[in-house]
């Protein structure tokens, strides 16, 4: 009996060693590449993302029914009788409103595709990183032209960059991720700098030519120097200028795009380095 | 016509159920943390790794389940592929080993295990991530606060899950 237990324990330890070797090998393979294109991730992403998309769609339907119908019924119990009469009309109206809003968002994004940022594709956000990092999953992938480092933006501002692209889905690293850095310039003075993600909802200024005149409300645009985002896209606004820490003041920037409410995004798939967004502030002479 | 033994069909059904459950856990975590921000603090794959470790009591099955959950979690996120896989493999294995040595049906044991596994998982995944892609400006103090908060959430949800499992076991017993 004890021999059986010992043999089973031995098998368990051997299995653990094999599993650890497998995972360590997988990790060390990626340490030699900045962006991994491992087939394992592509396979699993292609397997899981459609299920995630389906779940997202189902939840979206339930959520919109809850938001637009059930909660209203709860809030206005005294109008139950009238509400029943109008149920079908309300539902129809809500659906149409939702569709109009969605169409408006898509039209805004589509309008941007005609600008100077090259070819682009509209994608829908279908999930957020289950490991609490600042990434989202979108429903467009390599087949649609997305590659690692493709820029992802909205009409409000930049969102992030693609870090893994499977055939039909991609993982987007948000600009607030602690591993993210964006080359920026101040809208008014055109001073160049770098904004880093902090893993929270804000960005931190990591470098700028001169931080003496920075003040709350100043806006940062992309500088194009990181060769990921086209020049002149809105990044965010300074929310706080703290005391100097070392060489630089502690400056916090709130992203212009609402990263917690992303639904549709625009992915730049053919961004020409020479092409730059028409930037109205470009006309402002540097001091 | 070829006939398959009943035992093989049963095994396939059990494996199929497990695979579906594991995929569901990762997908639910991804979708819910997108829709409801608070779900970002939960780590369903971790809770289920501990749960299966404790309830199955089979180290090999538990480390396979933990490893699969971790790998799927890595694939849907931007972290290094294998970081959560390695961490959840260890957690599944340790939970199964602990299940045979300690009284894991005690609430206090479960609280301690879930909390420590959760903090350990965050620590290990962060270290592995930093080893491959060093963070430019990671805020470790706030990260530690998030780990503790997340560990508390995981412990609470884990206890609910174990409680549900206990009730079902008592009913079927």
Mark yes or no for CB contact B67/A132 under 8 Å: no
Mark yes or no for CB contact A27/B35 under 8 Å: no
List, in order, residues 6 or more apart from A84 with CB less than 8 Å away.
none
Residues A90 and A157 reside in one and the same domain: no
Residues A22 and A37 reside in one and the same domain: yes
Least confident of A244-258, A264-278, B113-127: A264-278
Residues A257 and A184 reside in one and the same domain: yes
Select the residue of B76, B83, B90 nearest A27 (Cβ to Cβ).
B83
Q: Is the pLDDT of residue A230 over 80?
A: yes
Select the residue of A19, A125, A136 nearest B63 (Cβ to Cβ).
A19
pLDDT at B3: 61
Chain B residues within 8 A of A16 when measuring between CB atoms: 59, 63, 89-90, 93
Select the residue of A24, A34, A196 nearest B137 (Cβ to Cβ).
A196
SS (H, E, C) B57-117: CCHHHHHHHHHHHHHHHHHCCCCCCCHHHHHHHHHHHHHHHHHHHCCCCCHHHHHHHHHHH
Least confident of A42-46, A54-58, A85-89, A211-215: A85-89
Chain A, window 50-79: residues with a beta carbon less than 8 angstroms from a chain B beta carbon? 51-52, 55-56, 59, 63
Domain that holds residue A97: 1-112
* pLDDT tens-digit readout, B57-115: 889 999 999 999 998 888 887 778 888 999 999 999 999 999 888 888 888 999 999 99
* pLDDT tens-digit readout, A61-72: 776 676 666 666
Cα B110 from Cα B116, distance rounded (Å): 10
Q: By C-alpha distance, which of B145, B137, B143 is closest to A248?
A: B137
CA distance B85 to chain A (A): 7
CB pairs under 8 A between A and B: 177
**Which of A6, A8, A23 to probe the B interface (max B CBs under 10 A)?**
A23
Query: A1 pLDDT band (50/70/90 cuts)?
Result: low
Residues A265 and A157 reside in one and the same domain: yes
Select the residue of B76, B85, B146 nearest A130 (Cβ to Cβ).
B76
What interface predicted TM-score (ipTM) does this complex get? Answer: 0.84
pLDDT at A235: 93
The CA-based angle A159-A58-A267, given to 5 degrees, is 20
CA distance B3 to chain A (A): 31
Q: By C-alpha distance, which of B86, B71, B55, B64 is closest to B15?
A: B64
* pLDDT tens-digit readout, A187-225: 888 888 899 888 788 898 888 877 778 888 999 999 888
Phi/psi at A112 (5° precision): -70, -25
Q: Which among A112, A129, A160 is the end of a domain?
A: A112
pLDDT at B159: 92
DSSP B136: S
Report pTM: 0.66
CATH number at residue A209: 2.40.10.340
Please tell me which residue of chain A has the smallest CA distance to B66: A19
Mark yes or no for CB contact B37/A260 under 8 Å: yes
Residues A140 and A266 reside in one and the same domain: yes
Q: Is the pLDDT of residue A155 over 80?
A: yes
Residues A88 and A55 reside in one and the same domain: yes
Residues A239 and A123 reside in one and the same domain: yes
Residues A129 and A173 reside in one and the same domain: yes
Select the residue of B30, B93, B135 nearest A52 (Cβ to Cβ).
B30
Mark yes or no for CB contact A24/B82 under 8 Å: yes
Chain B residues within 8 A of A19 when measuring between CB atoms: 63-64, 67, 89, 93
Cα B140 from Cα B146, distance rounded (Å): 10
Mark yes or no for CB contact A125/B40 under 8 Å: no
Q: What is the DSSP string of chain A?
A: -HHHHHHHHHHHHHHHHHHHHHHHHHHHHHTT-SS---HHHHHHHHHHHHHHHHHHHHHHHHHHHIIIIIHHHHHTGGGHHHHHHHHHHHHHHHHHHHHHHHHHHHHHHHHHHTSSS-EEEEEEEEEE-TTSSSEEEES--GGGT--TT-EEE-SSSEEEEEEEE-SS-EEEEETTSTT-EEEEEETTT--EEEEEE-SSSSEEEEEES--TT--TT-EEEE-STTSSSPTT-EEEEEEEEEEEETTEEEEEEEESS-GGG--EEEEEEE--TT-----GGGGSPP-
Mark yes or no for CB contact B63/A36 under 8 Å: no
pLDDT at B13: 81
Least confident of A30-44, A48-62, A259-273, B155-169: A30-44
Cα B45 from Cα B16, distance rounded (Å): 18
CA distance A286 to chain B (A): 30
Cβ atoms of A56 and B34 closer than 8 Å: yes
Mark yes or no for CB contact A15/B59 under 8 Å: yes
Cα A268 from Cα A109, distance rounded (Å): 11
pLDDT at A208: 82
Cα A30 from Cα B51, distance rounded (Å): 30
Residues A95 and A187 reside in one and the same domain: no
Helix (H) or strand (E) holding B152: helix B140-172
Please tell me which residue of chain B has the smallest CA distance to A262: B34
Mark yes or no for CB contact B137/A197 under 8 Å: yes
The CA-based angle A237-A240-A242, given to 5 degrees, is 140
Structurally, chain A folds into a number of domains equal to 2
Q: Which among A73, A93, A112 is the end of a domain?
A: A112
Residues A224 and A159 reside in one and the same domain: yes
Q: Are strands A264-270 and A119-128 parallel, antiparallel or unpaired?
A: antiparallel
Residues A151 and A65 reside in one and the same domain: no
Q: Which among A52, A82, A112 is the end of a domain?
A: A112
Please tell me which residue of chain A has the smallest CA distance to B131: A31
Chain centroid, CA A44 distance in Å? 20
Chain B residues within 8 A of A30 when measuring between CB atoms: 80-82, 132
Chain A residues within 8 A of B80 when measuring between CB atoms: 27, 30, 36
Gap between the terminal Cα atoms of chain B? 40
CA distance B1 to chain A (A): 33
Chain B residues within 8 A of A164 when measuring between CB atoms: 78
Residues A238 and A193 reside in one and the same domain: yes
């Amino acid at each position: 009996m004890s021999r059986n237990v010992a043999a089973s324990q031995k098998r368990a330890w051997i299995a653990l060693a094999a599993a650890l070797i497998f995972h360590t090998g997988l990790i060390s393979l990626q340490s030699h590449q900045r962006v991994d294109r491992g087939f394992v991730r592509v396979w699993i992403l292609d397997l899981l993302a459609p299920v995630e998309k389906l779940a997202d769609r189902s939840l979206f339907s339930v959520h919109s029914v809850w938001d637009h119908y059930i909660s209203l019924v709860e809030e206005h119990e005294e109008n139950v009788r009238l509400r029943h009469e109008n149920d079908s009309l309300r539902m129809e109206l809500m659906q149409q409103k939702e569709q109009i809003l969605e169409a408006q968002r898509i039209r805004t994004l589509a309008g941007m595709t005609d600008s100077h940022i090259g070819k682009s594709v509209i994608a829908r956000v279908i999930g957020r990183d289950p490991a609490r990092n600042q990434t989202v999953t979108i429903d467009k992938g390599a087949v649609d032209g997305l590659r690692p480092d493709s820029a992802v933006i909205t009409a409000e501002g930049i969102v992030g960059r693609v870090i893994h692209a499977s055939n039909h889905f991609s993982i987007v690293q948000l600009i607030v991720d602690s591993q993210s850095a964006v080359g920026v310039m101040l809208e008014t003075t055109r001073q160049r700098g770098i904004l880093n993600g902090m893993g929270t909802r804000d960005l931190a200024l990591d470098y700028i030519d001169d931080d003496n005149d920075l003040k709350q409300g100043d806006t940062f645009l992309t500088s194009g120097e990181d060769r990921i985002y086209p020049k002149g896209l809105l990044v965010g606004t300074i929310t706080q200028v703290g005391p100097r820490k070392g060489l630089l003041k502690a400056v916090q920037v709130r992203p212009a795009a609402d990263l917690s409410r992303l639904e549709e995004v625009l992915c730049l798939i053919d961004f020409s380095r020479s092409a730059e967004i028409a930037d109205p502030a470009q006309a402002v002479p540097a001091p | 016509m070829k006939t398959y033994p009943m035992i093989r069909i049963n095994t396939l059904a059990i494996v199929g159920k497990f695979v579906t459950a594991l995929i569901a856990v990762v997908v639910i975590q991804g979708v819910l943390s997108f829709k409801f921000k608070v779900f970002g603090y939960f780590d369903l794959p971790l809770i289920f790794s501990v749960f299966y470790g404790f309830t199955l009591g089979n180290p090999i099955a538990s480390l396979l389940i933990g490893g699969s959950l971790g790998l799927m979690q890595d694939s849907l996120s931007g972290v290094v592929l294998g970081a959560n896989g390695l961490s959840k493999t260890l957690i599944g294995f340790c939970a199964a080993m602990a299940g045979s040595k300690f009284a894991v049906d005690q609430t206090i044991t479960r609280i301690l295990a879930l909390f420590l596994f959760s903090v350990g998982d965050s620590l290990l995944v962060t270290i592995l991530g930093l080893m491959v892609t060093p963070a430019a400006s990671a805020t470790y103090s706030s990260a530690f606060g998030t780990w503790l908060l997340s560990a508390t959430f995981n412990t609470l949800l884990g206890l609910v899950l174990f409680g549900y499992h206990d009730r079902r076991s008592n009913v079927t017993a």
